[in-house]
Chain A
């Protein structure tokens, strides 16, 4: 799932125009709701906080919230049409995808991001998420005992670990588990250590950032 984190309130406040008179906070009811950052509750409390702020500055700004199922698909945006139209500025607390999809559908409207899209991750504890995948476009989990070297090794090494792996901890930060230690541990459990002995040749990164902006089609819906 896409994981996000609400932006620092000061950053949000600074990003809003000085002459603002009306604001729509648009929440998203899928991924970022699950990561407790961009759903209805967060939209509501952000509204109350900004209300309090503008009130303390003696400014009158009307703020409303609307949370839809997904901001990244056209059909759900219908529900946002009127609220977007009647407000000067929109602060979207969906992921970066949602913010842009909203912008594409609302030319001429200022659409600001209220959330930092952090990564694709899993929930590892209440209120805690961990990065698992970079979306490299060519999944190689099968060769690494199901542990992603691209996302879970801090240096994305395909031949690891590096010399900075100490007692299962990554040298980049004490709080990071060494991805390669995890790869070895799991490979050992699965009896696949052999697989790791071969040199891994460089990955084809053209499916990732090297190939430029990515898009793809499902052939069932398109004829070449």
Chain B
């Protein structure tokens, strides 16, 4: 849109000071997000002006919801807490579940603050695990010196009676503590999280936060290019290294502003005559790279957002998405050799490593199909291979947290299970399809495992 102002960065939720030309939008006011990295269009309700915002990068920075763990206790984060003259103060961390590491820091600071203001007050510090990030060890030392009493517990050693009496029972210590409790609240994702996940079409995250537990997303990536997650959008551990994560993210934004290129050289074209707008591709794309093309009334793949996994191609029920790449081509010299379908992000890398370690290519004497993600595997394709070749098929996918395409490994496994079920029902070829997961680091495992498999095949 000519003449329309474009921002470098949009903050959804809380804003941090930066040098970018940025705009802040509240999560409640955001209605939709279209477009891709470098050229997002955010649509807002009338509360937010302008209603349409063009922006190159997006940071979702929602606060946590703090949920109290005990009704009568004060929050460790609150500055407004009761101090009762005759009773001790009890700091409670890791109850009922382990708190994020950053809480150790807040707890120690709070304990010291109380001890500084009320030197005669007995302060107990109950915890399951003390996490030593940043200067926690120094704080801990100071706390011990100022005679704060640290009591470590395992679940089961602590009982809360009537919300203000804590019964601590560990080995030879049996204590009933009655005092003002300052408890670490449980951190929950913000109310708007689910809506925001839908708006950005992000894969469902860990414990309902927006980020999946996956090494490719560390530290603040969302899976959708140009969209980053901080604090209560990212997950329970995001507070611990917030400054580092913010630096990383802003640095990414700068790099993006300097220019982004497509991930692979292929165009994925949707045939508007075949597309029935079933939205399957939109729903399965792990990178939020598909949107509806209103002019053509069909879907379209956004080239900068696309990460090239081909999951959309393998799931479109009408075969409407096309690519000029024969990505299912079988390579190999001997038609009798077993067939490997390998992911270029795990098995392929592991094999190269094995080769440089041992001086032998573990994939030689196999026929190979190298895929950008094993989620490209389709039932029809596997049945076809089974009827054309006499050899077994091994699919080597990724371990969950190391799948570059986030949900790809799971989707492949589901397909393989359905294949096996069908073969079993027809009582044919049941044992010819195999599926294993690897990470790129598992070079030695790959070598050993392929050798075993080959041995088993011989028998």
Contact flag A48-B387 (CB < 8 Å), given A39-B317, A41-B316, A56-B428? yes
Closest chain A CB from B277 CB (angstroms):
9
Chain B residues with Cβ under 8 A from A9's Cβ? Answer: 422, 425-426
Contact A48–B380 (Cβ < 8 Å): yes
Say yes or no for A8: interface residue by CB 8 A criterion. yes
Contacts A45-B383, A56-B426 aside, 12 further interface pairs with beta carbons under 8 A come to A9-B422, A10-B426, A30-B276, A39-B318, A40-B319, A48-B381, A48-B383, A52-B383, A52-B386, A53-B426, A55-B387, A56-B429
Chain B residues with Cβ under 8 A from A47's Cβ? Answer: 380
Q: Which residues 413-441 of B have a CB within 8 angstroms of A?
A: 422, 425-426, 428-429
Q: Looking at chain B, what size class is its interface with the partner chain?
A: 20 to 34
Chain A residues with Cβ under 8 A from B422's Cβ? Answer: 9, 49
Closest chain A CB from B328 CB (angstroms):
13
Contact flag A49-B317 (CB < 8 Å), given A33-B276, A34-B278, A36-B280? no
Chain B residues with Cβ under 8 A from A49's Cβ? Answer: 379-380, 383, 422, 426
Whose C-beta in chain B lies nearest to the C-beta of A41?
Answer: B317
Chain B residues with Cβ under 8 A from A45's Cβ? Answer: 378-380, 383
Q: 1/0 contact trace for B272-304 toward A, CB 8 Å?
A: 000010111001100000000000000000000
The 8 Å CB contact of A41, one of B380, B384, B426, B428, is B380
Whose C-beta in chain A lies nearest to the C-beta of B425?
Answer: A10
Closest chain B CB from A95 CB (angstroms):
14
Q: Which residues 30-88 of A have a CB within 8 angstroms of B?
A: 30, 33-34, 36, 39-42, 44-45, 47-49, 51-53, 55-56, 67
Q: 1/0 contact trace for B374-392 toward A, CB 8 Å?
A: 0000111101101100000
Closest 10 CB pairs of A and B: A45-B380, A48-B383, A39-B317, A45-B379, A34-B278, A52-B387, A10-B425, A56-B428, A126-B283, A48-B380
The 8 Å CB contact of A8, one of B319, B387, B425, is B425
Chain A residues with Cβ under 8 A from B386's Cβ? Answer: 52
Chain A residues with Cβ under 8 A from B380's Cβ? Answer: 41, 44-45, 47-49
Whose C-beta in chain B lies nearest to the C-beta of A8?
Answer: B425
Say yes or no for A29: interface residue by CB 8 A criterion. yes
Contact A52–B317 (Cβ < 8 Å): no
Closest chain A CB from B341 CB (angstroms):
16
